[in-house]
Chain A
Amino acid sequence: MKRRDFLKSVSGLAAAGALTPAPAIWSSAKAQARSETLLIVSESGPNNLDIHGVGTNVPGYEVSWNCYDRLISHEMKSGPGGVPYYDRDKFKPELAEDMNVGDMSVTFKLKKHAKFHDGAPVTAKDVKWSLDRAVSVGGFPTFQMGAGSLTKTEQFVVVDDSTVRIDFAKKDRLTIPDLAVIVPCIINSELVKKNATEKDPWGLEYTKQQTAGSGAYKVVKWTAGTEVVMERNDAWAGGPLPKVKRVIWRMVPQAGNRRALLERGDADISYDLPNKDFVELKDSGKLNIVSVPYSNGVQYIGMNVKIAPFDNVKVREAVACAIPYQKIMDAVLFGLAKPMFGAAADKATEVAWPQPTKYVTDIAKAKALLAEAGYPNGFETTLSFDLGFAGVNEPLCILVQESLAQIGIKTTINKIPGANWRTELNKKVLPLYTNVFSGWLDYPEYFFIWCYDGKNSIFNTMSYQSKPMDEFIHGAVDAAAIGNTAKYDADVKGFVDLAFKDIPRIPLYQPYVNVAMQKNVSGYQYWFHRRLDYRTLVKA
């Protein structure tokens, strides 16, 4: 008798005992409920059901994505490993049935039969009110709208009951894609206005607790920090009716328990497990594991170029040559990431981002570079990381510390609590650190505006400022707006080359989104926001 069979028979015996509920199926109704319900487990849950809210966290985006519609969304294409992957360049209507792009405006015709969860029809007035709200409430939503040059309420014009025109502030390639991100969701304006107060004219308090959209799902119960229960909206007009009737999303803080729930077959999907668990689950073959690289995301080692000795490009190069790249891939990530280093020396730069650098671990070269820079005996500095992602950051930093010690750079590791990380980054005083950045809009120039531009945004954590770099970036932005491909390609190659030559930040790898699900669950799609889209999931 095998051990597993023995255990099974033991648990079988125990099932006769008094208090052995195990997968308790008490009635056929409950069994049916289970087969029509998708049970998702994750570490943390939403703090707000509305992405326009103050400080809505990332799990909150998932609720918004599934419970609200946008005017347009993206088509799917086949991505890495055959996983359906959103197509950056192809849009499909969601609430709109037709999109008509003019020279300085875009006009949407709304689907006539689209209705909100309470049965009210979706009108052009709702669209305007929702977009007005997104550009007015401040904080993240307004900021994200601004990324697509959508900043003023005057830009949104009601033409008639089912037609909306959006005027462009300027020619910007990112305006249309920015209408397909999570933020410009369409809200039931009459319902929310009824529940708004003088102090809260946009009704943020109301939509925080309940969904007021037209999306494929609606929240029927939300216990903050414990669970979110969503039910399918059978009257959904945004696309084909989803297969899953009910989604129960439970917060299970312990990673080991999430894995146990998956392996026992009690939970259907989990997506934030440590890399090691994912590799082991993949090898065991009991579950479906999907790994897809983050679009437009890179984990990197940053160096503050305003602080000596990192103001010296030779020092930065020396560090780039001393990073234990392959060790990080193997020992920290267990291979679940896409390397962003070690491209062949004769490989031409591509018009793409992210792409690998040509750096490899070469201690001798690093030593020589450091000596050339005037630090033959190295120096001392601190290496900081965000404790909120300690699972990856801590071993990564220890490997880097070890490796830098070989060329004489003595580092003290500085662990910064998650709540404090962004504050510290904002101060721009950390000399050496690791961090990750990923943009929703998957365009090289979008990434570079945030991370390398001289206007020194908070993601330009290196305080890197360079005139030629700014010229390349803005050249690419302007070329994209008027469709000048030749100039665009040249500028993108220009800024990528310069970023690798000046090397203020050393790309390490493109992280993977790892999703583990039961064999009978299918239909996973990768989206730019990296959260789950329940609408295409199927439970057999």
Chain B
Amino acid sequence: MLTMIGKRLMFAIPSLIGVVIVTFLLTRALPGDPAAYFAGPAASKEAIEQIRKKLGFDKPLIEQFLRYANDLAHGDFGTSLTTGQPVATEIRNRLPASAELTLLGLIVSITIAIPLGVLAATRPGSWIDHLCRVTTTAGVSLPVFFTGLVLVYVFYFRLGWSPAPLGRLDVFYSAPPTVTGLYLIDALIAREFETFRSALSQLILPAATLAIFSLAPIARMTRASMLAVLASDFVRTARASGLSPSTVIVTYAFRNAMLPVITTLSMVFSFLLGANVLVEKVFAWPGIGSYAVEALISSDFAPVQGFVLTMAVMYVLLNLVIDILYGVIDPRVRLEG
């Protein structure tokens, strides 16, 4: 197992190097001049040149790259110009915010989508199958910012049930002492139940928005894969042997149907983590998605590079975890490099 993990990590190194080079070149190829942008509206040509020199953008590309690679090797991701903070710190502070939101959204989504998919597969053509179809179609065709805005409008503006969409905590609470960076867990560790409550209530709407969006792939994949498994020989045999329907579905069929679902889950998770930009914008959520987009808009190179690199590392780790899970779920899957 350990050798397998080590091997897999080794294989990730070339792709990471590739990511570093490509993001560096891509950010440089972006239209827009960061020096002109940050020199401010009243800057003269000389002022812009001064800024360019300060930022090191007057040097040849290869020298800029070597400096960047050297900094990276020392764990320095550079400094963001838009927020003025070191990129590494920003990502460290913002990743938990995105992760907490995405995880909760995914958990909500799984608890609804998997039973829905299983039920739809066992009763094809019934009302629950139609419900599954309608929910998933609606969920996937509503853009997240739209769902988010509607939820805010209804639950905050009209009904007043939800707190103001002002990020992770109400304005008058302070964050719990950082252990994991996930406010729900940190608040419980610190036994600050009011903070927990505040953090949770802030999370409900954005997590629901994400859940609605991610229901579709999970439910559809569960349904399809269950249908295939239910039609297979071993299920027929199990049924013919007189096993109870619940044993057949849960023990035999569901376990075998899990593999594609797990793959979909990993895709959905990594997709949500990067793509919940719009949800973060709507709910003023201080996550990494909105951070990267802000940076992109203002040609702020360092955070974009840092973001892409972090995401690449996350993908590598996620794929590794999924592969290990495969082995756990289905011993037939051999893990050899």
**Residues of A with Cβ closer than 8 Å to B?**
7, 10-11, 14, 17, 19-22, 24, 26, 30, 33-34, 37, 39, 41, 46-48, 53-58, 138-140, 142-144, 208-209, 223-227, 248, 250-254, 256-257, 260-261, 263-264, 266-267, 417-420, 422-423, 426, 457-458
Cα-based distance from A208 to B79 in the complex (angstroms)? 12
Please, which residues of chain B bring their CB within 8 A of the CB of A37?
171-172
> Is A417's CB under 8 angstroms from B286's CB?
no
- B247: interface (CB < 8 Å): no
Please, which residues of chain B bring their CB within 8 A of the CB of A426?
36, 45, 48
> Is A56's CB under 8 angstroms from B297's CB?
no
Given contact pairs A19-B201, A422-B36, a sample of 5 additional A-B residue pairs in the complex whose CB atoms are under 8 Å apart: A24-B198, A57-B40, A209-B84, A248-B171, A254-B284
- B167: interface (CB < 8 Å): yes
Q: List 29 A-B contacts (CB under 8 A).
A: A11-B159, A11-B161, A14-B159, A17-B161, A19-B200, A21-B197, A22-B160, A22-B163, A46-B84, A47-B84, A53-B84, A57-B38, A138-B51, A143-B43, A144-B42, A209-B84, A250-B166, A250-B167, A250-B284, A251-B284, A252-B284, A257-B152, A260-B153, A264-B157, A417-B31, A418-B297, A419-B299, A422-B39, A458-B43
Please, which residues of chain A bring their CB within 8 A of the CB of B171?
37, 39, 248, 250
Please, which residues of chain B bring their CB within 8 A of the CB of A417?
31-32, 297
CB-defined interface of B281-300 with A at 8 Å, one 1/0 digit per residue?
Answer: 11110100011001001110
Please, which residues of chain A bring their CB within 8 A of the CB of B84?
46-48, 53, 208-209, 224
* A interface majority secondary structure: mixed
- B96: interface (CB < 8 Å): no
CB-defined interface of B171-190 with A at 8 Å, one 1/0 digit per residue?
Answer: 11000000000000000000
- B37: interface (CB < 8 Å): yes
Cα-based distance from A227 to B168 in the complex (angstroms)? 12
> Is A54's CB under 8 angstroms from B158's CB?
no
Cα-based distance from A232 to B13 in the complex (angstroms)? 51
> Is B281's CB under 8 angstroms from A253's CB?
yes
Q: Which of B38, B40, B160, B204 contacts A19 (CB 8 A)?
A: B204
> Is B160's CB under 8 angstroms from A225's CB?
no
- B54: interface (CB < 8 Å): yes
CB-defined interface of B119-130 with A at 8 Å, one 1/0 digit per residue?
Answer: 000000000000
| Residue of A7, A56, A209, A422 with highest tally of chain B CB at under 10 A | A422
Q: Which of B40, B47, B170, B298 contacts A138 (CB 8 A)?
A: B47
State how many angstroms separate the Cβ of B306 from the closest Cβ of chain A.
14
> Is A257's CB under 8 angstroms from B282's CB?
yes
- B194: interface (CB < 8 Å): yes
CB-defined interface of B189-212 with A at 8 Å, one 1/0 digit per residue?
Answer: 000001001101100100000000
State how many angstroms separate the Cβ of B302 from the closest Cβ of chain A.
13
Given contacts A224-B84, A264-B156, A420-B31, is CB(A257)–CB(B286) below 8 Å?
A: no
- B100: interface (CB < 8 Å): no
State how many angstroms separate the Cβ of A394 from the closest Cβ of chain B.
16
Please, which residues of chain A bring their CB within 8 A of the CB of B283?
257
Please, which residues of chain A bring their CB within 8 A of the CB of B166?
41, 250, 252, 261, 266
> Is B45's CB under 8 angstroms from A422's CB?
no
Please, which residues of chain A bring their CB within 8 A of the CB of B36?
422-423, 426
> Is A54's CB under 8 angstroms from B152's CB?
no
- B85: interface (CB < 8 Å): yes
Please, which residues of chain A bring their CB within 8 A of the CB of B42?
140, 143-144
Cα-based distance from A381 to B156 in the complex (angstroms)? 47
> Is A264's CB under 8 angstroms from B47's CB?
no
| Residue of A11, A14, A143, A263 with highest tally of chain B CB at under 10 A | A143
Please, which residues of chain A bring their CB within 8 A of the CB of B170?
21, 24
Given contacts A250-B171, A257-B284, is CB(A423)–CB(B43) below 8 Å?
A: no
State how many angstroms separate the Cβ of B332 from the closest Cβ of chain A.
44
Q: Which of B31, B83, B282 contacts A47 (CB 8 A)?
A: B83
**Residues of B with Cβ closer than 8 Å to A?**
31-34, 36-45, 47-48, 50-51, 54-55, 80-85, 90, 93, 149, 152-153, 156-167, 170-172, 194, 197-198, 200-201, 204, 281-284, 286, 290-291, 294, 297-299
Cα-based distance from A267 to B158 in the complex (angstroms)? 16
| Residue of A22, A37, A144 with highest tally of chain B CB at under 10 A | A22
Nearest to A257 among chain B residues (CB) is B165
> Is A19's CB under 8 angstroms from B197's CB?
yes
Nearest to A450 among chain B residues (CB) is B42
> Is A54's CB under 8 angstroms from B51's CB?
yes
| Residue of B43, B153, B294 with highest tally of chain A CB at under 10 A | B43
> Is B47's CB under 8 angstroms from A226's CB?
no
The 7 A-B residue pairs whose C-beta atoms are closest, nearest first, are A55-B38, A224-B83, A419-B32, A420-B32, A11-B160, A423-B33, A419-B299
State how many angstroms separate the Cβ of A112 from the closest Cβ of chain B.
35
Cα-based distance from A56 to B171 in the complex (angstroms)? 26
Please, which residues of chain A bring their CB within 8 A of the CB of B286?
223, 225-226
> Is B90's CB under 8 angstroms from A14's CB?
no
Please, which residues of chain B bring their CB within 8 A of the CB of A14?
159-161
Please, which residues of chain B bring their CB within 8 A of the CB of A54?
38, 51, 54-55
Please, which residues of chain B bring their CB within 8 A of the CB of A41?
166
Please, which residues of chain B bring their CB within 8 A of the CB of A419?
31-34, 37, 297-299
Cα-based distance from A304 to B291 in the complex (angstroms)? 37
State how many angstroms separate the Cβ of B15 from the closest Cβ of chain A.
29
Nearest to A252 among chain B residues (CB) is B284
Q: Which of A48, A139, A261 contacts B47 (CB 8 A)?
A: A139
State how many angstroms separate the Cβ of B281 from the closest Cβ of chain A.
5
State how many angstroms separate the Cβ of B83 from the closest Cβ of chain A.
3
Nearest to A422 among chain B residues (CB) is B36
Please, which residues of chain B bring their CB within 8 A of the CB of A256?
149, 152-153
Q: Which of B85, B281, B282 contacts A224 (CB 8 A)?
A: B85
State how many angstroms separate the Cβ of A48 from the closest Cβ of chain B.
5
Nearest to B33 among chain A residues (CB) is A423
Nearest to A46 among chain B residues (CB) is B84
State how many angstroms separate the Cβ of A147 from the closest Cβ of chain B.
8
Nearest to B48 among chain A residues (CB) is A426
Nearest to B159 among chain A residues (CB) is A11
Q: Which of B40, B55, B157 contacts A56 (CB 8 A)?
A: B40
| Residue of B34, B42, B55 with highest tally of chain A CB at under 10 A | B42
Cα-based distance from A33 to B172 in the complex (angstroms)? 8
Given contacts A248-B171, A252-B165, A419-B298, is CB(A7)–CB(B85) below 8 Å?
A: no
Cα-based distance from A223 to B291 in the complex (angstroms)? 12
Q: Which of B47, B85, B165, B167 contacts A140 (CB 8 A)?
A: B47
State how many angstroms separate the Cβ of A480 from the closest Cβ of chain B.
21
Q: Which of B34, B158, B172 contacts A7 (CB 8 A)?
A: B158
Cα-based distance from A11 to B163 in the complex (angstroms)? 12
Please, which residues of chain A bring their CB within 8 A of the CB of B45?
426, 458
Please, which residues of chain A bring their CB within 8 A of the CB of B48?
426
Please, which residues of chain B bring their CB within 8 A of the CB of A20?
161, 201
State how many angstroms separate the Cβ of B304 from the closest Cβ of chain A.
12
| Residue of B83, B93, B286 with highest tally of chain A CB at under 10 A | B83
Q: Which of B51, B55, B157 contacts A260 (CB 8 A)?
A: B157
Please, which residues of chain B bring their CB within 8 A of the CB of A30?
172
Cα-based distance from A142 to B204 in the complex (angstroms)? 48
State how many angstroms separate the Cβ of B194 from the closest Cβ of chain A.
6
Please, which residues of chain B bring their CB within 8 A of the CB of A248?
171
Q: Which of A55, A58, A143, A253 contacts B44 (CB 8 A)?
A: A143
Please, which residues of chain B bring their CB within 8 A of the CB of A144?
42
> Is A260's CB under 8 angstroms from B152's CB?
yes
Please, which residues of chain B bring their CB within 8 A of the CB of A57?
38, 40, 82
> Is B32's CB under 8 angstroms from A264's CB?
no
Cα-based distance from A220 to B129 in the complex (angstroms)? 55
